[in-house]
């Protein structure tokens, strides 16, 4: 087996050889601990028949472990300066491929179709660039790609919000959006010392398992998300007040909202953070006829 990329000594020598300097603006914090990398990959439960999509391979620390433990890994990297490095570090792994592209602009569905033809099990596994974690996750979820799930490292604060349950301070429209598409759990808290350079914030790994069916049936998905965002516009306000200030004006607006709340059996004095996904579903279906 080849020497691991993710040791402090090997990483340093690769970076020095290429005169690489980290770009903070691209969220470049590289992992230098193979133990952590292996644990991340363990949580993805890959087999030799799995495909892995990585976002931001850096110098290939995680890509290498994914290549060893899956059929194929495809990694999107935005920073051109990393391409010659990856060409060298990943040369022992012909089942790895780097695509030089901003993942937010990539047609990931098309890439899955062409690169993973004949592979039924696809996972997204990544140490995400922290400046764009939420757009990356939401963008991939909204596309409803044929993937089993995600195991990704991100800021602990965002991990807490994604996996939060109703009635907690972290629960909000992001928790609902992600939990609508997936079952979400935080599986690891990761110390700063396993990165170079060390990030300013705490890190965690979350596992998102894509649901086969949505947890609730809805008249209109887009409208449901609009209502959940409106309900959290100001966290300290009641659901009635938030909806009244956020929904478009019209005749009898407040009465219509009150009626919808009553039909959905939700007290108007409750705050958005206490409502379950099922309650938001009932409420948005009731509001649909008047406010869509």
Q: Torsions phi, psi of 179, nearest 5?
A: -75, -15
Instruction: Say how many CA atoms lie within 13 Å of 210 toward its Cβ.
Output: 19
Instruction: Calculate the dihedral angle through the C-alpha atoms of 130, 135, 140, 141, rounding to the nearest 10 degrees.
Output: 110
Least spacing, CB of residue 38 vs ligand SAM, in Å = 13
Contact positions with ligand SAM (CB under 6 A) in 24-43 = 26-31
Instruction: Calculate the dihedral angle through the C-alpha atoms of 83, 84, 89, 91, rounding to the nearest 10 degrees.
Output: 100
Least spacing, CB of residue 262 vs ligand SAM, in Å = 45
Least spacing, CB of residue 4 vs ligand SAM, in Å = 12
Among the listed residues 105, 215, 103, the one whose alpha carbon sits nearest the alpha carbon of residue 150: 103
Cα dist. 28→46, 58, 131, 132, 153 in Å? 26, 7, 10, 12, 13
Among the listed residues 35, 213, 51, 30, the one whose alpha carbon sits nearest the alpha carbon of residue 124: 51
Contact assessment for residue 181 and residue 150, using Cβ atoms and an 8 Å cutoff: no
The yes or no reply on residue 272 touching ligand SAM (CB under 6 A) is: no
Least spacing, CB of residue 49 vs ligand SAM, in Å = 23
Is 95 labeled as ligand-binding? Answer: no
Query: Per-residue x/- mask for ligand SAM, residues 109 to 148, rule CB under 6 A?
Result: ------------------x-x--x----------------
Segment contacting ligand SAM (CB under 6 A): 52-60, 86-94, 158-166, 178-186? Answer: 52-60
Least spacing, CB of residue 105 vs ligand SAM, in Å = 8
Q: Which two tokens stand for residue 221?
A: 């998905």
CA angle 144, 149, 154 (to 5 degrees): 105
- Cβ proximity to ligand SAM, 29 vs 256, nearer residue: 29
Segment contacting ligand SAM (CB under 6 A): 102-110, 112-120, 203-211, 230-238? Answer: 102-110
Contact assessment for residue 198 and residue 130, using Cβ atoms and an 8 Å cutoff: no
Is 139 labeled as ligand-binding? Answer: no
Contact positions with ligand SAM (CB under 6 A) in 8-27 = 26-27
Contact positions with ligand SAM (CB under 6 A) in 174-213 = none
* List of residues contacting ligand SAM (CB under 6 A): 26-31, 55-58, 61-62, 76-79, 82, 102-104, 127, 129, 132
Q: Residue ranges for the binding site for S-adenosyl-L-methionine?
A: 29, 31, 56, 77, 102, 127
């Amino acid at each position: 087996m080849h020497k691991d990329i993710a040791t402090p000594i090997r990483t340093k020598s690769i970076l020095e050889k290429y005169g690489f300097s980290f770009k903070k603006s691209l969220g470049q914090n590289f992992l230098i601990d193979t133990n952590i990398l292996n644990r991340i990959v363990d949580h993805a439960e890959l087999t030799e028949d799995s495909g892995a999509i990585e976002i931001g391979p850096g110098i290939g620390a995680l890509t290498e472990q994914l290549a060893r433990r899956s059929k194929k890994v495809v990694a999107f990297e935005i920073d051109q300066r990393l391409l010659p490095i990856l060409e060298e570090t990943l040369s022992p792994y012909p089942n790895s491929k780097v695509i030089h592209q901003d993942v937010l602009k990539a047609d990931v569905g098309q890439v899955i179709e062409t690169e993973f033809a004949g592979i039924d099990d696809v996972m997204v596994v990544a140490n995400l660039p922290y400046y764009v974690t939420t757009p990356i996750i939401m963008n991939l979820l909204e596309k409803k790609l044929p993937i089993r799930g995600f195991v990704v490292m991100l800021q602990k604060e965002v991990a807490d919000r994604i996996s939060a349950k109703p009635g907690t301070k972290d629960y909000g429209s992001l928790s609902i959006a992600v939990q609508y598409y997936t079952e979400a759990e935080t599986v690891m808290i990761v110390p700063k010392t396993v990165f170079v350079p060390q990030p300013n914030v705490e890190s965690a790994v979350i596992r998102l398992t894509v649901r086969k069916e949505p947890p609730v049936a809805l008249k209109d998905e887009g409208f449901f998300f609009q209502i959940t965002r409106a309900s959290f516009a100001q966290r300290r306000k009641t659901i009635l007040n938030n909806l009244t200030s956020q929904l478009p004006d019209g005749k009898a607006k407040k009465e219509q909202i009150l009626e919808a709340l009553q039909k959905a059996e939700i007290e108007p004095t409750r705050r958005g953070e206490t409502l379950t996904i099922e309650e938001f579903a009932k409420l948005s279906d009731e509001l649909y006829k008047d406010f869509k």
